Structure 1
Amino acid sequence: MTLPVEVLLGLYLGLLTGIVPAFVAGSLGFLVRYFTGVTLPGFGVVVLALSIASVQGGLLGLVEPDIAQSPRLLVAVLVVLMLALYAHNQGDKLGAELPRRLSFTSIRQRTLSADVVELVGTMGQVTVRPAGEIRNMEGYPALSPALRQTLQNGSWKLPADIPLSELEIRLEERLRTDHDLADVDVTIDEQARATIVAAPPSGGLSKRVSEGQRAVSLATLVPTGLARGDEVTVRAGERTVSGTVLSARTEIDAEHAETAADESGDEPSGAAVTDGGEDAPPLDPAAKPTTASAGGVGRVTVSVARRDAKALLEAESPRIRVRSRGTSREFEAFALIRQAGYAIRRVTVGPAGAGDSTVDAVSSGTVTILAIRRHGSETSGRRHGWVFGPGIERRLETGDEMFVAGPEKTIDEFVEGVSG
Structure 2
Amino acid sequence: MQSIPGNLLVEVLLGLYLGLLTGIVPAFVAGSLGFLVRYFTGVTLPGFGVVVLALSIASVQGGLLGLVEPTIAQSPRLLIAVLVVLMLALYAHNQGDKLGAELPRRLSFTRLRQRTLSADVVELVGSVGQVTVRPTGEIHDMEGYPPLSPSLRQALKAGSWRLPADLPLSELEARLEERLRTDHDLGDVDVAIDEQGRATIVAAPPSGSLSRRVPAGKRAVTIATLVPTGVAQGDEVTVRAAERSITGTVLSARTAVDDEHAANATPEESPDEVATDGGEDTEPAVVDPKPNAATAGGPGRATVVVARRDVKPILEADSPRLVVRSRGTSREFEALALVKREGYAIRRFTVSATGSDDEATDFDATAPTADVTILAVRRQGSETGGRRHGWVFGPGIERRLEAGDEAFVAGPSDAIEAFVEAIAR
Same fold (TM over 0.5): yes
Name the structure 2 match of 1:348. 349
Name the structure 1 match of 2:53. 48
Name the structure 2 match of 1:417. 418
The alignment status of 1:6 with 2:9, answered yes or no, reads yes
Q: Is the 8 A contact 2:381 2:389 kept in 1?
A: no
Q: Is the 8 A contact 1:245 1:303 kept in 2?
A: yes
In structure 2, do the counterparts of structure 1 residues 322 and 308 end up closer, same or farther at CA, with 3 Å as the change threshold?
Answer: same
1:368 and 1:30 mapped to 2: Cα distance? Answer: 45
* C-alpha deviation, 1:416, in angstroms: 0.7
Q: Deviations over 1:165-211 (max 9, x none)?
A: 65455445545644667887877654445677889888643343345
Name the structure 2 match of 1:301. 303
2:55 and 2:340 mapped to 1: Cα distance? Answer: 84
SS at match of 1:216: strand
- Which of residues 125, 144, 156 is equivalent to 1:120? 125
Partner amino acid for 1:82? M
Q: Deviations over 1:218-252 (max 9, x none)?
A: 56787775432123455779987653211346756
Q: Is the 8 A contact 1:25 1:84 kept in 2?
A: yes
The alignment status of 1:247 with 2:252, answered yes or no, reads yes
2:223 and 2:119 mapped to 1: Cα distance? Answer: 53
In structure 2, do the counterparts of structure 1 residues 328 and 95 end up closer, same or farther at CA, with 3 Å as the change threshold?
Answer: same
2:157 and 2:312 mapped to 1: Cα distance? Answer: 43
Q: Deviations over 1:82-113 (max 9, x none)?
A: 23212101101222333443344544555433
Q: Is the 8 A contact 1:221 1:296 kept in 2?
A: yes
Higher mean alpha-carbon deviation, 34-43 vs 345-354, is at 345-354
Q: Is the 8 A contact 2:223 2:320 kept in 1?
A: no
SS at match of 1:346: strand
SS at match of 2:99: helix
Q: Is the 8 A contact 2:30 2:90 kept in 1?
A: yes
Partner amino acid for 2:26? P
1:221 and 1:76 mapped to 2: Cα distance? Answer: 100
2:157 and 2:65 mapped to 1: Cα distance? Answer: 61
Partner amino acid for 2:377? R
SS at match of 1:375: strand
2:332 and 2:65 mapped to 1: Cα distance? Answer: 85
Q: Deviations over 1:50-73 (max 9, x none)?
A: 444456567778778887777666
Q: Is the 8 A contact 1:17 1:57 kept in 2?
A: yes
Name the structure 1 match of 2:283. none
Name the structure 1 match of 2:39. 34
Partner amino acid for 1:346? R
RMSD: 5.2
2:79 and 2:301 mapped to 1: Cα distance? Answer: 92
* C-alpha deviation, 1:372, in angstroms: 0.7
1:349 and 1:6 mapped to 2: Cα distance? Answer: 69
* C-alpha deviation, 1:23, in angstroms: 2.2
Name the structure 2 match of 1:325. 326
Count residues in correspondence: 381
The alignment status of 1:373 with 2:377, answered yes or no, reads yes
In structure 2, do the counterparts of structure 1 residues 240 and 324 end up closer, same or farther at CA, with 3 Å as the change threshold?
Answer: closer
Q: Deviations over 1:391-412 (max 9, x none)?
A: 5767655555444555xxxx21
TM-score, normalisation: structure 1 = 0.65
Gap regions ≥5 residues in structure 2: 273-287
Superposition pairs for residues 85-96 of structure 1, below 5 Å?
85-96=90-101
Partner amino acid for 1:359? A
The share of aligned pairs that are identical, in percent, is 65
Partner amino acid for 1:113? S
Name the structure 2 match of 1:160. 165
SS at match of 2:38: helix
Q: Deviations over 1:244-293 (max 9, x none)?
A: 211346756699697xxxxxxxxxxxxxxxxxxxxxxxxxxx98654556
Name the structure 1 match of 2:367. 359
* C-alpha deviation, 1:30, in angstroms: 1.0
Q: Deviations over 1:298-352 (max 9, x none)?
A: 7642213434433554678x67746253653237615852784545523226557
SS at match of 2:379: coil
Q: Deviations over 1:33-82 (max 9, x none)?
A: 22343322212322333444456567778778887777666555444332
Q: Is the 8 A contact 2:346 2:408 kept in 1?
A: yes
1:242 and 1:376 mapped to 2: Cα distance? Answer: 40
SS at match of 2:35: helix
In structure 2, do the counterparts of structure 1 residues 335 and 54 end up closer, same or farther at CA, with 3 Å as the change threshold?
Answer: closer
1:293 and 1:88 mapped to 2: Cα distance? Answer: 75
1:395 and 1:248 mapped to 2: Cα distance? Answer: 48
2:99 and 2:381 mapped to 1: Cα distance? Answer: 28
